[in-house]
């Protein structure tokens, strides 16, 4: 299928994004491609209409058969007045080809019309901000008619006597942890004049400790000057009150020692000289600029003026200006009035040479649809407008993806954007905003980026020489072209960045920078290896160092530099590059490099990754609505030659049991210590985690606020949290739970008593995806498998596994495997001898199998179960994988799938690790008759007989094939109807075909809301009994059956024996 332009769909709450997206895709495909001539069903599996009398123009003939009607044979069959660009796919379906085929407010996403919401909405649920029309009014974030979050246009008024300040709050604009008392913000926990509340004054000699006046301090602290301080670690009061350490010394264990830690930036407010520069909490690093409103973009002049753009309220672009000493230069004002229906891409850049700012934005004539128009407005250092608005005519190509602006050393500037021919156009202006050269038009030398253009950048050095860059998609390359100071191109045509062809990423995944010496850097996301790479160029345009690995990233590599004003910042002649986090939990890292590719310093922190700016010497970051100066001097933030994760030997509290706000009952936090090299934290020591409730001890063991609950003698098992579980034939239970901080385990005996209480399986991954646990039927062995990022600064995912005894004590260390796929496509199986197999996609995305014995020794090395084709591409499987084995002899089967138009495959192996099939075997009737991603199951009984159940998205039906142990197909049948959704019926990890003796239990029903029925079939495909789930709180994908007894998850419980077959 052709690559279509992708718009971002705002994810709905509660993790339903992918389910909703899949539902929209199915509805769109069904509506556009499932019916052909005469209204007859024309999917490729339907042979009911065996001639083409009703549709001679759409008759598909195969061999000597009469032919059959299909939806289309060429694009023209799909197109109508309302859908003029629809295309015909290889499987003869009509899908959208562009936004012109979709309804208003929708975009075409890989052939499907989907509703568009911005990936980074202007606000989120619960946000408030002050209205600009009156100081006592505020706006709330609300959903529009498309479900997208945006600022309401109706202002609300604060109570009488209050003003709007801070984050839309009525009252004083007090920082977190402080409260308003009259006209002052105070800390009730520390302020001796407002201790515990306004005007509660402590007596002379008393200090305010946690909101109470006291003559003593807690936690071994000492009262010094009305504050409780740690005299062991305070540079103002070292060893005793008033004993201030001299410059270049710091307090260590109550003694002023020489300061040697020069790699840490100043930590404001801790009363220490963290960066060892002789100053404590110095103003140059601890003067913050509190902005009254959002910060969409900002720019800082060397003289100290800061221009802040708040974004747009649909009618106006609002801005405010400040000085770097924290004072307000100009309060909130209207920087521009929007003439069109909507605007985006609002950004502001500094013009250092003539001490001005340039604001730019793009307007749509109609909301979110072409044509669009680029605007620019200059402002002086006091934030007053200069001259008229500079604008370009409306065209169908320029948008917030496709424009960039830069300045030279004389104040002249250049704008790069897409023109009406969808070709890059570079126009040069003098320092007064007058057009000098329309280079591409005047020379006729086009800048057409192959495949179209999305991410574009332009940069100039002080002489006016510079470079442009552009890209389209991951299948294309990143391109660049240099120009001279006299506005002529010095490269013949666009130059392809080596290594980027079919290895770059989507849309805006590169950045460009140039320094005052004319040296430049092109920084880009290499999607194939999940790496951020940099190529450094000399002034002559020749690469001096290529493919420098800056960092790695997680998941799909796209739009790492999506937002405006993403050219690389400079400190002196050095470049600042950054990581490209995809999720809020990923802490961004910035790297300062010299022009020859040498790492100088680094910065790591939970700041807005796309909003680091510099004035040429000083760097600034954004945290919430505050602009803060940051120390980026040489050596800062480096431990060895890597960014420091923490201050060596420092400590912090930790808790792996979930949110620290839930620490109660017997639970308590622990302590972590930063490694001596500053590159990682120790494991969490001395914490107490939630444990299964122990009846009769009158303690809240699971830390849920209750003691001795669930002690009514029920067979059900109560677990503090359940992500997955497994059961032996005797009824032993092992469960695992990912708390968002650690992967924990629990073990229970058949009578429900705890065999091993809460234990940590992994706490070193920043993120874990769909962990699974499998137990041998005899209960003697357990294998846990999970997919997670590496520890700390690592962002690449890996596959991990660990073997345990039946009592949950470990047998092996953690096994680590390389992995490329970004989802839960992996599985494990274990037999009664403790031999276990792992299947996953390796670093080349090939289906791979490994086998181990019961000591963790690898007995079958990594074996690719399929091969790359001649074009080095995958052929068969990229999505759901299953593996199942006979518990007695270890014989087993691996199965896998791709998409609805592709078959499901399997391959058999024996108990010695020998593969029994030369190649992946195609499951009959599944080609163009399966479903998306995760729509099949596999089961193997003790005799080696196996069954594959799958879901057909075309026929909305569950089917099954039964096989003998030798792979002979013995029976094919229909299990039931797929009701509420026709894809991903078996999406969640660790869903297997359960066994009743040697019989198989197959499932009918949807994945979300429809009732579920399980049917018992003999290995020959004869149906006997069934069971229906009618309790909505049960997790329908969690059924386990051992020795005829059912086990299923219900909240924090494993319900025993509630599902019965009749």
pLDDT digits (tens, 9 = 90+) for 90-118: 888 899 988 888 876 677 877 888 766 76
Contact 149, 143 (CB under 8 A): yes
**What kind and span of H or E run contains 859?**
strand 858-864
Give which of 427, 467, 468 is closest to 449, Cα–Cα. 468
Q: Which residues contact 393 (CB under 8 A, 6 or more apart)?
A: 373, 420
Q: Does the pLDDT value for residue 160 go beyond 90?
A: no
Three-state SS for 34?
coil
Domain coordinates in residue numbering, the chain: 17-115, 289-398, 401-568, 645-713
Question: What would the mean pLDDT of 284-303 be, rounded to a whole number?
Answer: 85
**Sheet hosting strand 574-578, strand order edge to edge:** 570-571, 574-578, 589-593, 599-604
Confidence at 868, pLDDT banded by 50, 70, 90: low
Q: What is the largest CA-CA distance in the chain?
A: 104
pLDDT at 39 over 70: no
Name the average pLDDT for the chain.
83
Residues 6+ apart with CB under 8 A from 869: 875
Q: Could you tell me if 578 and 552 are in contact, meaning their C-beta atoms sit under 8 angstroms apart?
A: no
Per residue in 889-900, pLDDT (tens digit) is 999 999 999 888
pLDDT in tens, 741-768: 899 999 999 999 999 999 999 986 667 8
**The pLDDT of residue 9 is above 60:** no
State the pLDDT at residue 35.
36
Of 809 and 695, the one with more pLDDT? 809
Whole-number pLDDT of residue 10:
38
SS3 (DSSP) at 889: coil
Query: Side-chain half-sphere of 351: how many Cα atoms within 13 Å?
Result: 27
- DSSP-derived letter for residue 849 is E
Q: How far apart are CA 86 and CA 100, in angstroms?
A: 9
Residues 6+ apart with CB under 8 A from 368: 105, 116, 342
Of the listed ranges 74-88, 333-347, 446-460, the least confidently predicted one is 446-460
What mean pLDDT is predicted for residues 281-302? 82
> CA–CA separation, 548 vs 599, rounded Å?
11
- Kindly report, residue by residue over 347-367, the tens digit of the pLDDT: 999 999 999 999 998 887 765
CB atoms closer than 10 angstroms to residue 1022:
12
d(CA 204, CA 296): 48
Residue among 916, 1019, 905, 904 nearest 966 (CA): 916
Which pLDDT belongs to residue 29? 38
Q: For residue 684, what pLDDT is reported?
A: 92
User: What length is written for the chain?
Assistant: 1062
**Sign of the torsion formed by the C-alpha atoms of 830, 836, 842 and 845:** negative
In angstroms, the Cα distances linking 879 to 318, 820, 876 are 47, 12, 9
Query: Who has greater pLDDT, 920 or 286?
Result: 920
Give the long-range contacts of residues 732-739, CB within 8 A, separation 24 or more: 732/775, 732/779, 732/806, 733/1047, 733/1054, 734/773, 734/775, 734/782, 734/804, 734/808, 735/773, 735/1054, 736/761, 736/771, 736/773, 736/784, 738/768, 738/771, 738/786, 739/656, 739/657, 739/658
Write down the pLDDT at residue 745. 97
Q: What angle do CA 114, 117, 119 make, to 5 degrees?
A: 115
Q: What is the CATH number of domain 401-568?
A: 2.120.10.70
Q: Is the pLDDT of residue 1 over 50?
A: no
pLDDT attached to residue 329: 92
DSSP character at residue 284 = H
| DSSP bridge pairs for 300 | 306
Q: Which helix (H) or strand (E) holds 727?
A: strand 724-727
694-738 tens-digit pLDDT: 888 888 999 988 888 888 878 899 999 999 999 999 999 999 999
Q: List alpha helices for 380-499, DSSP H.
A: 439-443
Does residue 875 surpass a pLDDT of 90? Answer: no
| Mean pLDDT, residues 217-227 | 77
- State the pLDDT at residue 326: 85
pLDDT, greater one: 466 or 234: 466
Which residue from 252, 147, 185 is spatially nearest to 647, judged by alpha carbons?
Answer: 252
More confident residue, 452 or 60: 60
Greater pLDDT, 658 or 781 = 781
What pLDDT is stored for residue 558 in this prediction? 66
Q: Tens of pLDDT along 475-533?
A: 688 999 999 999 999 999 899 999 888 777 777 889 999 999 999 999 998 877 778 89
Say yes or no to pLDDT of 155 above 90.
Answer: no
Q: Cα 944 vs. chain centroid, distance in angstroms?
A: 41
CB 315, CB 305: distance < 8 Å: no
Q: 438 has which bridge partners?
A: 427
| Average pLDDT over every residue of 146-156 | 77
CA angle 203, 207, 209 (to 5 degrees): 130
Who wins on pLDDT, 64 or 1002? 1002
> Before 371, cis peptide (omega within 30)?
yes
For residue 325, the model assigns a pLDDT of: 85
Q: What does the pLDDT look like over 544-568, one tens digit per residue?
A: 999 898 887 765 566 778 777 889 9
Sign of the dihedral through C-alpha 645, 651, 653, 655? positive
Q: What is the DSSP letter of 57?
A: G
Residue 1048 is predicted with a pLDDT of 94
The share of the chain scoring above pLDDT 90, in percent, equals 43
pLDDT per residue over 813-865, tens digit each? 999 998 766 567 899 999 999 999 999 988 778 899 999 999 999 999 999 99
pTM, 2 dp: 0.66
Residue 141 has a pLDDT of 87
Give the pLDDT mean for 403-421.
89
């Amino acid at each position: 299928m052709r690559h279509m332009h992708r718009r971002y769909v705002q994810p709905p709450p509660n993790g339903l994004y992918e389910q909703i997206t899949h539902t929209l895709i199915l509805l769109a495909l069904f509506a556009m491609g499932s019916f052909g001539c005469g209204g007859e069903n024309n999917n490729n599996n339907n042979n009911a209409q065996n001639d083409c009398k009703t549709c001679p123009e759409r008759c598909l003939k195969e061999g000597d058969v009469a032919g059959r009607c299909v939806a289309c044979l060429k694009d023209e069959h799909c197109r109508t007045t309302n859908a003029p660009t629809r295309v015909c796919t290889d499987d003869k379906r009509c899908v959208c080809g562009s936004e012109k085929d979709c309804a208003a407010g929708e975009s075409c996403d890989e052939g499907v019309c989907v509703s568009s919401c911005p990936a980074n909405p202007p606000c989120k649920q619960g946000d408030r901000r002050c209205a600009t029309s009156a100081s006592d009014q505020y706006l709330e974030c609300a959903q529009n008619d498309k479900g997208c979050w945006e600022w309401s246009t109706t202002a609300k008024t604060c109570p009488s006597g209050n003003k709007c300040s801070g984050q839309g709050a009525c009252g004083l604009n007090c920082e977190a942890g402080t409260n308003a008392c009259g006209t002052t913000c105070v800390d009730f926990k520390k302020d001796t004049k407002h201790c515990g509340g306004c005007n509660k004054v402590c007596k002379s000699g008393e200090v305010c400790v946690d909101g109470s006046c006291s003559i003593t301090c807690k936690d071994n602290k000492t009262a010094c000057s009305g504050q409780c301080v740690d005299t062991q670690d305070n540079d103002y009061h070292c060893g005793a009150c008033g004993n201030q350490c001299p410059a270049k010394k710091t307090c260590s264990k109550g003694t002023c020692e020489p300061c040697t830690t020069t790699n840490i930036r100043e930590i404001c407010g801790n009363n220490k000289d963290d960066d060892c520069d002789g100053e404590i909490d110095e103003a140059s690093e601890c003067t913050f600029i509190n902005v009254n409103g959002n910060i969409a973009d900002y720019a800082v002049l060397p003289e100290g003026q800061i221009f802040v753009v708040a974004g747009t309220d649909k009618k106006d672009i609002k801005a405010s200006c400040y000085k770097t000493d924290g004072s307000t230069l100009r309060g909130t004002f209207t920087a521009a009035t929007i003439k069109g229906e909507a605007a985006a891409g609002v950004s502001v850049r500094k013009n250092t040479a003539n001490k001005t700012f340039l604001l730019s934005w793009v307007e749509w004539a109609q909301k979110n649809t072409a044509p669009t128009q680029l605007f620019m407005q200059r402002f002086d250092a006091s934030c007053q407008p200069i001259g008229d608005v500079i604008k370009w005519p409306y065209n169908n190509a320029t948008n917030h993806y496709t424009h960039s602006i830069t300045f030279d050393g004389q104040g002249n500037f250049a704008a790069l954007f897409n023109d009406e021919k969808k070709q890059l156009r570079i126009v040069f202006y003098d320092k007064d905003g007058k057009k000098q050269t329309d280079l591409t038009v005047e020379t006729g030398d086009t800048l057409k980026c192959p495949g179209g253009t999305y991410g574009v950048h332009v940069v100039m050095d002080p002489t006016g020489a510079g470079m442009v860059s552009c890209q389209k998609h991951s299948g294309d390359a990143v391109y660049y072209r240099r120009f001279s100071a006299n506005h002529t191109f010095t490269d013949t045509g666009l130059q392809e960045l080596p290594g980027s062809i079919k290895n770059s990423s989507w849309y805006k995944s590169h950045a460009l920078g140039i320094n005052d010496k004319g040296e430049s850097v092109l920084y880009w996301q290499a999607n194939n290896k999940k790496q951020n790479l940099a190529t450094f160029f000399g002034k002559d345009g020749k690469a001096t160092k290529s493919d420098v690995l800056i960092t790695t990233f997680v998941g799909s590599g796209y739009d790492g530099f999506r937002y405006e004003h993403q050219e690389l910042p400079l400190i002196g002649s050095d470049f600042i590059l950054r990581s490209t986090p995809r999720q809020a939990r990923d802490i961004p890292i910035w790297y300062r490099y010299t022009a020859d590719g040498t790492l100088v310093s680094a910065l790591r922190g939970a700041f807005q990754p796309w909003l680091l700016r510099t004035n040429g010497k000083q760097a600034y970051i954004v945290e919430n609505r505050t602009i803060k100066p940051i120390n980026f001097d040489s050596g800062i933030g480096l431990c060895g030659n890597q960014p420091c994760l923490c201050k060596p030997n420092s400590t912090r509290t930790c808790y792996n049991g979930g949110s620290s706000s839930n620490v109660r009952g017997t639970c308590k936090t622990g302590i972590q210590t930063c490694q001596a090299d500053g590159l990682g934290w120790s494991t969490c020591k001395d914490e107490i985690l939630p444990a299964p409730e122990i009846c009769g001890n009158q303690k809240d063991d699971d830390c849920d606020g209750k003691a001795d609950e669930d002690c009514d003698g029920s067979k059900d098992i109560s677990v503090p949290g359940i992500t997955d579980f497994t059961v032996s034939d005797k009824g032993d239970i092992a469960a695992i739970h990912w708390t968002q901080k650690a992967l924990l385990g629990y073990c229970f005996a058949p009578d429900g008593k705890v065999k091993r209480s809460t234990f940590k399986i992994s706490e070193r991954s920043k993120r874990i995806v769909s962990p699974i646990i499998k137990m041998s039927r005899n209960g003697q062995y357990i294998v846990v498998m999970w997919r997670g990022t590496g520890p700390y600064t690592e962002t690449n995912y890996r596959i991990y596994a660990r073997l345990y005894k039946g009592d949950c004590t470990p047998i092996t260390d953690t096994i680590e495997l390389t992995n490329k796929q970004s989802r839960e496509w992996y599985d494990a199986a274990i037999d009664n001898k403790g031999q276990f197999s792992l299947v996953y996609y390796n670093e080349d995305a090939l289906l791979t199998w490994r086998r181990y014995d019961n000591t963790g020794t690898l007995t079958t090395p990594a074996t690719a179960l399929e091969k790359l084709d001649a074009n080095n591409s995958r052929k068969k499987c990229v999505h759901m994988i299953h593996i199942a084995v006979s518990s007695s002899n270890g014989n087993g089967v691996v199965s896998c799938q791709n998409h609805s138009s592709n078959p499901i495959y399997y391959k058999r192996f024996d108990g010695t690790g020998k593969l029994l099939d030369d190649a992946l075997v195609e499951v009959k009737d599944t080609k163009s008759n399966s479903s998306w991603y995760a729509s099949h199951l596999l089961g193997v009984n003790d005799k080696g007989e196996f069954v594959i159940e799958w879901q057909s998205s075309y026929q909305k039906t569950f089917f099954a094939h039964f096989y003998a142990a030798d792979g002979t197909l013995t029976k094919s049948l229909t299990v039931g109807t797929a009701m509420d959704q026709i894809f991903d019926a078996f999406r969640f990890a660790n869903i297997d075909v359960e066994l009743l003796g040697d019989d198989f239990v197959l499932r009918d029903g949807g994945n979300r809301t429809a009732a579920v029925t399980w049917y018992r079939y003999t290995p020959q495909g004869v149906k006997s009994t069934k069971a229906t789930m009618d309790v909505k709180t049960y997790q329908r994908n969690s059924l386990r059956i051992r020795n005829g007894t059912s086990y299923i998850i219900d909240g924090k419980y494993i319900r025993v024996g509630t599902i019965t077959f009749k």
